[in-house]
Amino acid sequence: MTDALRPETHPSQPRPHGPSPPHLLRAPLTRGLPIVALSFVALVASVGLAPFVGSTSLSFTRVFATHVPFGDNVDAQIFLLARLPRAVAAALVGASLASAGVVFQSLLQNPLATPYTLGISAGASLGAMLAITFGAAFPLAGVAAASLVGAFLAVLVVYALARARQHGLSTTVLLLSGVTLNAFFSALILFVQYLSDFTSTYRALRWLMGDLDVAGYAPILAALPFLIVAFAAFIWLARPLNLLSLGADAAGTRGLDVHRTQRVAFFSASIATGAAVSIGGPIGFIGIIVPHLVRLMVGADHRLVLPVSAFLGGAFLVTCDTVGRTVFAPLELPVGIITALVGGPFFLWMLLKRR
Amino acid sequence: MGVLAASRLSFAYGSDPVLDDVTVEVAHRDVVGILGPNGSGKTTLLKLLAGSLTPASGCVTLDGRALDKIPRRELARRVAVVPQETHLAFDYTVLEIALMGRYPWLGAFEIEGPSDLAAAADALDATGTAPFARRAFPTLSGGEKQRVIIASALAQLDDRAAPDPHQRDTHRVLLLDEPTASLDLRYQLEIGALVGRLRRDRDVTIVLSSHDLRLVGSVCSSLILLSHGRVLATGPTRELLTPEIIGELYEVRADLAAPLLP
């Protein structure tokens, strides 16, 4: 090839000479750190402020008045025993679903995946339906436990199917078995509904709407160990998920243990989803709206997308729940209805604007 | 003794044999072209040389060590692969893609430092992609994407951050799978010029598969000819790039192959 043909001498392709431009010498990651900090502040602020909003207005000074004994301080009781656990539950559920959405989208290499794509919520719902219908003696915690068991059974079935044909996880088989499982569990749910009486059908329907009306801290504490494990895994996953975006083969040639990354991503995101659904029911759309808005803000690097999605997902769900509790007060609208009303149109808009 | 050597490699996808008893050797700082018709096993051979696939029998060695005995990350510091095409589901920037090449040099929670950024910036400079370092990868043209992925591979092989001087001056290998496939004339020339520059300026051994006889003729010093999963011939480019041999390789008449040769 002659020198005259060398493209770098082409006039339309000026090649920079000398040292690299200074913007290249700054890590792209550091530019997103202020957004991480701001989104964390938003989460803390929403959890702190939401309990003051509601049908009974609370006085800040009375809630924190130390001279009144707690037994006589109605404001403090409403704050600590009714509204704060609800705000904390919303924050945890929102954070879990949003970050699980990020992980599933990355694992499946599909921006339209959600935490529920692989049938986890359908498994959880089936478990909850069975507990509501046939376990009349079950206390509320029994429904949560049953939904957790249902979610994990669904996870194991999907995993076994995706592993059956090849050594690694096949994302195609994951998607197909997830969609099939979703449909199959939905049929079973309808069947259980058919067998159940009026009261339990009503309870089941309310559960399916997604509601954060947790009675105290017990459901949160029960889900917490699962969430801690999942979030620890998410921290480890952030950079491996970046590599995985190049495709499994290319990630492997850069030194990534692809199979281990896929396994950790699948199980941690599934555990987070199962635990979140056991607290609040299958609240929709958080896992897709939040990650997409976050990517518009911070780009694609999972070391930014994961924490910002977790913080803003929490803040978003706390806000939605506060809206749901107040717009028709004293009626409380289940938060799942709010997120679906916001999320449906958003999802369609995203589908249309996709390249 | 070659840097990269494959001895008696066989491989099959299920029950379909793809490679059969392939023995090849790549010398230090050589640019080796793999030529062969569609389905002759070029991509499979590259994947075996990269360690992405495990051979059914035979073995691949890098400086005399079997690939499956070399830890994943150490192997990645020495062998980089540029696949035929790269599609991303998310909008990573060009600089972020180049920095992904630094993965095998960083600890689990380590953030890219100045040496990693310098390695990425150099790689972008070398491939002429520095001007769009901040652009989103999916918005680039095919030729630009290919050069960015090559930059990521160069950043991966950059050993300036090696903690231990022993790790420097080891042989490094760049594997390119049909680097000019689906590119127009101008980008074909750009990739060809880039491979030529890498050969001259960087201490790297290059193996590339291609259907592009002119590219192979201008940048490769030796060739491996694959036919139906077997080695038809290996040797210096000038000896093998003849109408008779190329005609036999692609199962066409020699006088039809002649005008396609450089």
Q: Do A253 and B76 touch (CB under 8 A)?
A: yes
Q: Do A24 and B133 touch (CB under 8 A)?
A: yes
- pLDDT of A12 reads 39
C-alpha to C-alpha distance for A280 and B262, rounded to whole angstroms: 69
- Which parts of chain B sit beneath pLDDT 50? none
Q: Within 13 A of B93's CA, how many CA atoms are on the CB side?
A: 20
A215 touches chain B (CB under 8 A): no
Nearest CB to B95: which of A28, A105, A257? A28
CA-nearest residue to A355 within chain B is: B138
A20 touches chain B (CB under 8 A): yes
How confident is the model over B199-212, as pLDDT tens digits?
888 888 999 999 88
Q: List all residues 6 or more positions away from A285 whose beta carbon is below 8 Å from its beta carbon.
A: A114, A339, A340, A342, A343, A344, A346, A347
Which ipTM value was assigned to this complex? 0.90
- pLDDT of A14 reads 40
CA distances from A324 to A130, B128, B217 (A): 28, 54, 70
C-alpha to C-alpha distance for B21 and B7, rounded to whole angstroms: 8
Torsion of CA A275, A276, A277, A280, to 10 degrees: 130
Report chain A residues whose CB lies below 8 A from the CB of B81.
249-250, 253
- pLDDT of A18 reads 45
- pLDDT of A139 reads 58
A232 touches chain B (CB under 8 A): no
Q: Within 13 A of A171's CA, how many CA atoms are on the CB side?
A: 16
A 315-334: CB under 8 A from B: none
Q: Per-residue confidence at A23, pLDDT binned at 50, 70, 90?
A: low
Report chain B residues whose CB lies below 8 A from the CB of A301.
92, 96
Answer whether A343's CB lies under 8 Å from A291's CB. no
Q: Do B192 and A1 touch (CB under 8 A)?
A: yes
Q: Percent of chain A at pLDDT above 70? A: 89
Q: Do B92 and A299 touch (CB under 8 A)?
A: yes
C-alpha to C-alpha distance for B25 and B146, rounded to whole angstroms: 26
Which of B82, B99, B103 to mutate against chain A (most A CBs within 10 Å)? B103
CB atoms within 10 A of CB A150: 26
Average pLDDT over residues A265-273: 95
Nearest CB to A253: which of B80, B87, B97? B80
Give the end-to-end CA distance of chain B in Å, rounded to a whole number. 30
- pLDDT of A138 reads 58
- pLDDT of A162 reads 83
Q: Do B92 and A301 touch (CB under 8 A)?
A: yes
- pLDDT of B165 reads 59
Nearest-CA distance from A239 to chain B in Å? 8
Q: Per-residue confidence at A169, pLDDT binned at 50, 70, 90?
A: confident
Q: Identify which of B148, B149, B157, B51 has the alpha carbon closest to the alpha carbon of residue B102.
A: B157
Q: Do A26 and B138 touch (CB under 8 A)?
A: no
Nearest CB to B83: which of A250, A295, A355? A250
Q: Percent of chain A at pLDDT above 90? A: 50
Q: Do A7 and B186 touch (CB under 8 A)?
A: yes
Q: Per-residue confidence at A242, pLDDT binned at 50, 70, 90?
A: very high
pTM over 0.80: yes
CA-nearest residue to A105 within chain B is: B89
A137 touches chain B (CB under 8 A): no
